[in-house]
Each structure stands twice: as structure tokens, then as C-alpha cells.
Chain A
């Protein structure tokens, strides 16, 4: 099977989440398809696009969708949860508001018009729907049996509900994936609790307290490792462990990795993830 899939990386994947991208590209190769980075892309539009009343905020995401469209992709895959959320929301917004789409197209008069024909997929749902869990199970070389994993979703993959890749309250797509790799996903009720998000910039202590609860809950439920798909969550869940130790001296750390890193281990490559 040879498939070329348009891939939108976003800024974080080229900076702090390099290993996320690297592992995902590798996973794709093993599973027999290629994530082709769009030859042209820019900022996904991130936070501002979450408010829908100001059309200008939709420009950045729509412009990216125009790139994808003119490169001939009718589907693009993202890794970063934020990029997924921004692009998917904008895409839905312009599909449902033809009049607004017309205005946006007018604004970018030198670009070709966007016709709403590009589908935005997160890598996780792409794996489940297109590649199938069965195929992944068959590709496992080193079963992860005995490894207890807490799957952490954060918010951006699941909310708002209209673009969520799974049930916003009780998601299980990561758990299903870990199961086919042979690992044991643990009971983890904090899997959708907020990591503290951007408070990390000016109020790291808020984030530390939140992350402490999340990680402690994972450990209480016997997890040995926490996986996530969101670069911001990953940052908070790893980097803020130092702050946690200052507030809760007894706290012992727990490794947090991207789901693609752990996939890579199971799929047989000697890829250092922890």
C-alpha cells in the first residue's frame, strides 16, 4: 500500500516537539504510507481563530487550507492537537457559512478561492479509520505487554464536540491504540482534565498544581508512563514536574511521551523515547 498524505506540521512540531514529528513520520513509513509535508504552510492561526465573530481570525487557517487545495490534497493530517483544532474549526465554520467564506476569499483576492473541499484529520483518527487498528496490530514487532499506560487527551482533540475526534467526556481512541500495541491502558479518569494550558507562561504554579493532580492520578492507577498527543500538554506535563517537586517535595516523576514514540517502540524500531 502506497499512500501519500498531505501533512500540516505547525510551528511546535519544528521546535519543541521535534521528536513527535520524527516518530510520527517513522510510524507512517512502517505502516506503509508517507506523510508529505505541505510545500507551503504557515501558522495554523492558533488561539485567535477560536472566536468566530471576527473573520480576520479565520484568514490564517483558511489560507493554509487553500495551500493544501492548490497542491491537490483533499485531506490533510495534523499531529499537533492545536493545529488540528484550529484548522478543523475554521474549516467547519467556512463550510457552514458560505457568505462568510465568500468574504474571506474576497479578502485574499490574490489567492485562489477556497471551496471547502479539504478534510482536516488528526493523525489518530487517520490511523483508526484509514489504516485500521487491525493493520497496526499486525505490524507490531515488539509487543508492549506488561507496560501500563495512562492515555492523556487534554482538551483540544475533543472539544468543541463538533470537531472532537472522540467522545468528549469518555474518549477511548488512545486506549484502543495502546491495546493493539499489546500495552495495558490503565483506568485514568483525569485523562481529559485541563493541563493548565497557557497559564504556564505567567502562572507556572497553577499549571504545576493541575499537572500534579493529573500525574498523581495516573500513578495511583498504576501507570508507568503517560502518553499524550498535544505538544502543549506534553510541555506542561514534562517541564512542570520540576515546579511540582518544589510544591510537593514527595512527588516522584513519571515519564510523559508522545503516543507516536511509544508506537514506534512497538512497531520494532530501536527508537529512544524516554
Chain B
């Protein structure tokens, strides 16, 4: 065993506190340490080169790097070590920055002592390390994308254009998502549909994309490279292959209900397409509102008039099984329900609406044909008050986060309102204006200069006074309370994860944050990957995002998928549990605690023992902790390795009693 130890200065980050020279001197004395040195920036190219040269020159077999956090540079060093011919699992990284110099910046002596102690501990662990080889699993060259908004569309197109097959599953009857509901986009004010609908058509036409609209993912099993997915196609009661989208059925349908696409501000029939540019252009009967029931056909107007005979009242939900190698989650967002915003009279007054309602009211294809009318009496509002951060940035309501897009769309709304009603008055209540983005600040400046009155302060109350809405608030710049009488109040409610996100997270075994948004592995370094290999994130399902950011992330997710699919096999970390068949009694405790269901109990030669599926195992170690016989171990983190590490840590502080050591016989 020939161990090399490299201690990094990290500039002054480590060396400013930790006495690296002393560390090197102390470590060099230890058994098996052939070489020990320090270097100013080990992560730099010359730094890595030093390590590689010394490996070759001194024929080092085991390497320790004492530097920053392994989550930052673990991969950097293990690749460098591997390139020099040492198995990367015979490399240990010790964090003497976060764990020593940063936390003990006021006590250099302690920081130095601790650094030595930590390196000794990892040295002890390294003595028992074994070389490991990554696991290879076959990879199905097909991808599932969940969500048919702009994020899902972009991901699907990027992957399909690279020549791989994509299954795109969308819950609602049409592609388009939230973006389809928007009138214009900021900061360029181009029409949202005009840039979205061509992409929707492209998805539908693409030979490599299998489109499942009005469908939901019901079950996901398996692992990276080989996910088995069950998709439920909800019955449209219209045969898609026969429907020509002529719309004859709509004219005769007697049922009128609020249109969800128009935020309930417009109406639709029980047989409908959500909006005229819907893709696929296939009608859907909403059986909740249709007069017919599963047993009784009361009305058959649509059935009678349908030329191509596309209507089928007996249609049943249909389950489809697909197999894919990777999954991208792009389930988007929702707005905080109005009922949660009672201080603004939300849900109480018709003329207090959400920003999404406002989008529909100003949209040329909206329920009012692009003429802004307020919901209560249809009058054109001569003044509008916008209230930002409605429910966002509110720790007391449990949503401390910024919803990010509201400053921009509110500015856009104010501007469009000024175009629609040039003599109208606009007030915007805000906390800060957050317009970080290309041409964003300029856009807000332009709106502010366009006769829109920005008031910095919160609104305390909104109520009706005769025909008007009264907004009570405060202007914190002048320090005065303000009372504004207005025709319409538009809230920018907090953005929350879409319905069903929690269930989907459970199904995919990926984590969500405290607000229900899907979590990435690392916010800076691995922003589109989840902790489950082969599952990626795109768009507002992860956190509030605007269109540009969503599209950028979607393409990033697609490129991650493509780099995965460019290989025939997926490579998995070998840090997985393995069973010692001799010791294992097959009690099944490990099977019960395994969160990934990677363990089964098998019977062989009249003996029962646990068996680990390495491709599913994530190396969490739950099984190892619960096993009473010490029969199951995680490679790279065996009981032997961890005990040695702990004992080395304690050595300096206590004389470890020989009895204890003997008891465990390590």
C-alpha cells in the first residue's frame, strides 16, 4: 500500500486558517504514507497534474485529497486519479475547508488539529477500501416526457430531432399548457400563440413523437435505462382517428359550462376543444357535464350530427404500457387559489381577479375578444390596480419564496392595459421590482415612464364601495397610507406546484422541496437532474420560471437525456449494497427498510438470504444499519471501513478501550 496525500490551500480559504505545513508534517509521519505535500489550488490544471505525476513517479496506489467539499470537486479529483491509473474508489476526499477553516475561523489551532484528525480518519478508512467497477445496465433508447406545456414540448422536440423516440403525456385534451393561455409575452410583446402553436403542430407531426393527450401516467417501475410506465388514456368519447375537428357537434350540444381555458370567464359546451388552435384538434366530451351517463343515453344530438361518426358514448379508459430509458418531468405550475387571499377580497368580489384571468380578458382570442371588460358588469375598467406578491414572499403564510415572473407580467399587463384603454389609470403595488433578465429592466422602465403609477407598499384590504373597488394600502416611499378607488383589481398570486405533483413525485421516487416543487440534485452544478438517475426536470415544476428560462432548462434537460442515450448502456455508481450469503439469515429486515425496494429474499439450497438488485440500489445504507448480523454492506462504505474511520477519529480524544475493539473483531 503506497498512499499519497495532497493538502490544498484553496488560496487563503484553507491556508489562511489551517496551518497546512503542520498538517503535511504530521501526515507524512504516518504508516504507508509515501508522499505528502500541499498545493495552492489542487483543483487547477497544474494541481491535478501534480497529483497525476506523483502517482506515476512514486507508483502510488491510494490517494487522499484534503480540500473542499466532495460535492464540489469530488468528481474532479476522482477523474484525475483515474486518468493516472488508480481506481477512483481508492481515492478519498477530506473536507478541510467547510469542516475546518470555515467553521473554526476564529480558532486556527483547533482547525489545524481537526484537519489532521479528519485526514487520519480517512486514511484509516482507505486501508480497507477495495477497487470498484461501475455497473452497466442496458438502455432503452426511448424517453417519456410528462407534461405538454412549453417545457415538455421543447424537451420532446429536442430529443426527437436528435433521432430518438419520445412519448409525450399531457393531462388535458390539448398541448399548450399555461403558455397557450397567455396573450403576449414579455419583454418583446410578441403574441404567445404565434410562437407556441407552430411548435405544438410540429410535435403532433413529428414521426418520432408519440403524443398522448388527455392521458395520465399511472405507474412507473424500474430504473434508469429501463422504466416500465403505465399510461391511462382517459376516454374522450370521440374517436380521434375519425374526428375531423369540424365542430358541427358543438353547435347542437345543449350544455353550456364555464371554460377552464378561459379561467371560467368564458363558456364552452360539454363537447369541446379547449381553444381553437388545440393540438390535436379532436373534440372531447366532458362526461361530468354531458347529459348522458354511463348507463343512460339522454341526449344524442352530437352523435346524430357527426358526419364521420366519430362519437362513441361507450368509450372506456385505456391503459397502455411503454418502456423508456429516461423520464423528463415538466408538469408546470398553478396559481395560489383565490380563497387563500381573503385580505384582498379574493373570491369575495367578482372584480378581484388573478393575473391569468387578466391574460384571458386581454387576449384577442379570449372570452371578450380582446376587449377588456370587468367580470361583474362587463364595463370597460377606467382604472386598474395591480397587487404583486399576493401570497408570495410571505413567510407567515408558508410561502417565503419569490414567484419570480410576476414583476414582469404585471409590467406587461400595465402596458397592454394602457394600449387598450389609453385614458385609463394604472396603479401597481409592489414590494421590489425584480427584473433581472435580458431587456427586462429596460422594459419595466419603459412601462413606468408610460404613465403607470408604481406604489411601493403592501395592500391591507380591498373592498367594494358602490360600483367601485377600494384598495387600502401604504406607500412606503412617502410613508403615507393610500386609498385608491378603482374598477378592477388584479392579483399576482403565488405560483404553486401543479395538482398531483406530490403523487407523481412518490411514483417516480424523486424528492420535492417544502413547497412541493420538484428538487434537483444540486441547484448550481446539476440543476436538471434528480436524485433518481434517469429522471430529469424542466420548467416551472421545479420552481417558478418564465418562458425563456423554461425553454433554456428544457433544452438542458434534453441534452442530458441525449448524452445518456448516446451510450448503449447506462453507467451506475458501484456504491451499492451486497450480501454475505454465509452470514445472512434471510430475516428480511433489510427488505422492509429499503426505500427503493431493491432487496428481495430468495431461497437457495434450503437457505434464505437477501438479494440486492444493484441497478436499483442507491447505496443509502439503511439495510446496513438495520442488519443485526452485519451481513449486508455498502461497497465503499463497509462496516469495516466506517468503524476504522470512527475509531481513528476517536483515537486522539480517548484511549479506545481494547475490549470494545476486540468485541467487534475488526
A91 to B402, CA, bound (A): 35
- B342 in contact (CB, < 8 A): yes
The answer to whether A169 touches B464, judged by C-beta atoms less than 8 angstroms apart, is no
A190 to B465, CA, bound (A): 11
- B98 in contact (CB, < 8 A): no
Contacts of B348 in A (CB 8 A): 170
- B463 in contact (CB, < 8 A): yes
- B26 in contact (CB, < 8 A): no
15 CB < 8 A contacts A-B: A167-B342, A168-B342, A169-B342, A169-B343, A170-B342, A170-B348, A189-B345, A189-B461, A189-B463, A189-B464, A189-B465, A189-B470, A190-B463, A193-B461, A220-B465
Provide the main secondary structure of the chain A interface.
loop
Contacts of B464 in A (CB 8 A): 187, 189
Binding site for A on B (CB under 8 A): 342-343, 345, 348, 461, 463-465, 470
Q: A189-B465, A193-B461 are in contact. List 10 more A-B contacts (CB 8 A).
A: A167-B342, A168-B342, A169-B343, A170-B342, A187-B464, A189-B345, A189-B463, A189-B464, A189-B470, A220-B465
User: Which residue of chain A has its CB nearest to the CB of B483?
Assistant: A213
Contacts of A169 in B (CB 8 A): 342-343
Q: Which 4 A-B pairs have the closest CB atoms?
A: A189-B463, A169-B342, A169-B343, A170-B342
Contacts of A220 in B (CB 8 A): 465
Give how many A residues have a beta carbon under 8 Å from the other chain's beta carbons.
9
Closest Cβ of chain B to A116, distance in Å, is 25
Closest Cβ of chain A to B493, distance in Å, is 15
A190 to B345, CA, bound (A): 12
Contacts of B343 in A (CB 8 A): 169
Contacts of B470 in A (CB 8 A): 189
Contacts of B345 in A (CB 8 A): 189
Closest Cβ of chain B to A188, distance in Å, is 9
Q: Mark A161-199, 1 if CB is under 8 A from B, else 0.
A: 000000111100000000000000001011001000000
A169 to B470, CA, bound (A): 16
Closest Cβ of chain B to A217, distance in Å, is 8
A162 to B348, CA, bound (A): 22
User: Which residue of chain A has its CB nearest to the CB of B347?
Assistant: A170
A167 to B347, CA, bound (A): 13
Closest Cβ of chain A to B547, distance in Å, is 33
Closest Cβ of chain A to B356, distance in Å, is 22
A193 to B463, CA, bound (A): 12
User: Which residue of chain A has its CB nearest to the CB of B472?
Assistant: A193
A193 to B472, CA, bound (A): 11
Contacts of A193 in B (CB 8 A): 461
User: Which residue of chain B has its CB nearest to the CB of A192?
Assistant: B461
Contacts of B342 in A (CB 8 A): 167-170
A242 to B366, CA, bound (A): 54
Contacts of B461 in A (CB 8 A): 189, 193
Closest Cβ of chain A to B410, distance in Å, is 22
A167 to B341, CA, bound (A): 11
State which residues 210-262 of A face B: CB under 8 Å.
220
A190 to B461, CA, bound (A): 9
Contacts of A168 in B (CB 8 A): 342
A190 to B463, CA, bound (A): 9
A110 to B464, CA, bound (A): 56
Contacts of A187 in B (CB 8 A): 464
Contacts of A167 in B (CB 8 A): 342
A187 to B461, CA, bound (A): 15
Q: Which residue, A168, A170, A189, A193, has most C-beta atoms of chain B within 10 A?
A: A189
A18 to B461, CA, bound (A): 34
User: Which residue of chain B has its CB nearest to the CB of A221?
Assistant: B465
A167 to B345, CA, bound (A): 12
